[in-house]
Amino acid sequence: MSHARGSSPVAKSLRGHEDSASFVVVANRLPVDRVQTPDGSTTWRTSPGGLVTALEPVLRKQGGAWIGWTGAADEELEPFDLEGIQLVPLPIRAQEVEEYYEGFSNATLWPLYHDVIATPEFHREWWDSYVAVNHRFAEYAAAIAEKDAVVWVQDYQLQLVPQMLRELRPDLRIGYFLHVPFPPAELFTQLPWRRRILEGLLGADLIGFQTTGAAQNFVRLVRMRVGNKTHRDTIYLDDGRTVMAKAFPISIDSNAYEELARRPSTQARADEIRASLGNPKFVLLGVDRLDYTKGMPQRLRAFGELAQEGLLDPADAVFVQVAPPSRERVDQYRRLRDEIDRLVGRINGDVGRIGQPPITYLHSSYPRDEMAALYRAADVMVVTPLRDGMNLVAKEYVACRYEETGALVLSEFAGAAAELKQAYLVNPYDINGMKATMLKAITDPPREKAKRMRAMRRQVMEHDIDKWAQNFLEDLETIREPHGKRTRPVG
C-alpha cells in the first residue's frame, strides 16, 4: 500500500483552505453530534464524552481546528465553524468503518490494551485499513496546520499519525495523548505490528499517558523492540530528536460541575429522583458506557448478593445503573447487553417487591444537568472497571459533592485510583471483597466519609482540565536541542 506525499484529493483541496490553524487537534471523532431541527434541516451541537469535555475549553481558548470523522460512513463535508471552533470533517468509507474502527481499533487494540478481558483479533486487512485511515488523518493535519503549528493527536485509533505527520511536516510540534491504558510488554508483544505502532508514536515530541506505569511500559517496549537508548522518561532517537513519554492524568472541568451541582434546579431534580425510587435510605449509582471493561456484571452481582443475603434491605438501598449504548454493531457488546438485561431481571425478580425493584437499569444517554442531579442523588458512587485509562465519572461525582458528603467505591484498576487514594478502593474481580467494601461505604460514619471526600475534592478541584492541558502543552512547546548522543544500534 503506497502513500504518496499529500496524495489525497481532499487533502490537496484543504491546502488552499483559508483557515489554517496554529493549534490543531486530531481525533477519531469530531466533538459534535448531528441534530435534526423541526423544519427538517440539520445542525450540529457539541457532543458529550470524556475527550470532548477535556479538549473543548482548551481548543476554544487556544483558537484552532479539530480534525475528525462525523460518525457517518462515506460522508464528505466542507470544514465549518461551531461556537468558535473550526471543525474539519474527514471522510471514512463504510469498509474502513468495519475494518479500521470496529475491527482494528475496537476488536484488536481495545481488548489488547485492556488486559485482554476479551480476546483480541488480529486480521491483516484490518491493519491495512488502520494504516490507510491514519495516513488520511496525517494528510489533513499537514494541510491545515500553519508553519511551526502545534498538533495534538488523540488516542489509540491514531497511533501511526505522529510519524506519518512528521514525514509530511517536520516543522510541526507534535504531541500525542493516549486516553486508554498502555499494556505491559507481555500483552503488547502479541501484536503482529508492534514495532510499527511504537515507531508511529515516536513521531511525536511528547507522548502522554494516564499513569506513570503506562509511560514506563512504553519506554521499556521502545528499548526492547525498537532498540533506542532511553533514560527514565526520555527516548533518544537516531536522528537526534528527544522524545518524552510521561504521565498526564486527564481531568474534568471541575468548577463547571460544582456550579451545576449547586443550582437549586439540580438539587430539586435530585430530590425528584430519590422520590421516584421510593425515598430509600441509600442510593447507589453506577454510570458506565456499555462496555465489557467496565465491570458492570460483577458489581450488580455483588449488590444482588448483598440483598439476597439480607445484608441490605431493598427497601433501604437501591442501585441505579446508567449504561449509555456503545458500539451496538459489535457482537461482544450485544452479548454484554443481553447478559446485563438478564442479570438485572433475575435480581429484581428474586429480591424485588411490587413497585420496588432493587435495581433501576437505564440503557440511555443523559445530558450533563441530569447527570449532575444523579450524582447529587447518590449516596454511594460505584466505579468498578476491570481496567480503565482514567474514568472521569469518578471525578465528576467528587466535583458534584460540594457538601463533602457521599462515598466513592473505586476500582484499583482505574487510572483515577492513583489520584483518588481516599476512595473505597476495590478489586472488581473479588466479589466478596466488593460486597464488604460497598457495605462499608454505606455504613461508615459521616465524619469518615467527609474526611475522604474532602481529600478527593481537593485533588479534583486543584487538578482540573485546564491544568492538565496547560501542563501537557507547556511540556510540548519546550524546545529540546538535538541530543548528540550515540544511540544503541537496532538489534
The set of catalytic residues is 179, 388
For residue 208, give Cα distances in angstroms to 7, 182, 219, 250.
Answer: 30, 11, 12, 10
Side chain identity at 217, as an amino acid letter? N
Residue with cell 491495512: 128
CA distance 142 to 166: 9
Cβ(218)–Cβ(209) below 8 Å? yes
**Alpha-helical segments (H) within 145-251:** 161-168, 185-188, 194-201, 212-221
Residue with cell 458512587: 381
DSSP 8-state secondary structure symbol assigned to residue 233: T
Side chain identity at 353, as an amino acid letter? R
Neighbouring C-alpha atoms within 13 Å toward the C-beta of 345: 6
Cell output for 18: 483559508
Neighbouring C-alpha atoms within 13 Å toward the C-beta of 257: 27
Residue 131 CA, distance from chain mean position = 22
Contacts of 299 (CB under 8 A, 6+ apart): 286, 382, 384, 428, 434
CA distance 101 to 420: 32
Side chain identity at 394, as an amino acid letter? A
Question: Hey, what's the torsion of the CAs at 321, 325, 329, 330, to 10 degrees?
Answer: -40
Nearest to 453 by CA among 370, 380, 377, 372: 380
Range 309-315, long-range pairs (CB < 8 A, 24+ positions)? 311/435, 311/439, 312/439, 312/442, 314/351, 314/352, 314/353, 314/356, 314/358, 315/278, 315/280, 315/353, 315/356
Nearest to 363 by CA among 336, 390, 393: 336
CA distance 130 to 101: 8
For residue 18, give Cα distances in angstroms to 10, 62, 83, 150.
Answer: 14, 18, 18, 18
Range 305-314, long-range pairs (CB < 8 A, 24+ positions)? 305/431, 305/435, 306/435, 306/438, 306/439, 307/347, 307/351, 307/358, 308/347, 308/350, 308/351, 311/435, 311/439, 312/439, 312/442, 314/351, 314/352, 314/353, 314/356, 314/358
CA distance 397 to 318: 18
